[in-house]
């Protein structure tokens, strides 16, 4: 579902990392939105809604926030 939504909006998947963290499945995708036809905000809302309908919690954040979080 996630990869289909990304493809429909010209968002290119660059890397995927998956693991189990304290019993929870965790997936991190690094994507390129330079050719995207949707804003980061709208993509986050769309994925959040679709994920909630499937019992998933999907978060979208800009690379700058991710890098800042992992520098601390």
For residue 1, the 8-state DSSP code is -
Confidence of residue 6 (pLDDT cuts 50, 70, 90): very high
pTM for the model: 0.82
Per-residue pLDDT tens for 10-56?
Answer: 999 999 999 999 999 999 999 999 999 999 999 999 999 999 999 99
Degrees to nearest 5, angle at CA 62 with 59 and 65:
95
- For the record, the structure tokens of 5 come out as 């939504």
């Amino acid at each position: 579902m996630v990869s289909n939504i990304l493809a429909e909006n010209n968002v290119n998947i660059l890397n995927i990392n998956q693991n189990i963290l304290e019993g929870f499945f965790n997936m991190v995708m690094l994507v390129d939105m330079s050719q995207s036809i949707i804003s980061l905000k709208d993509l986050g809302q769309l994925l959040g809604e679709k994920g909630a309908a499937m019992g998933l919690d999907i978060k979208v954040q800009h690379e700058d926030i991710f890098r800042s979080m992992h520098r601390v």
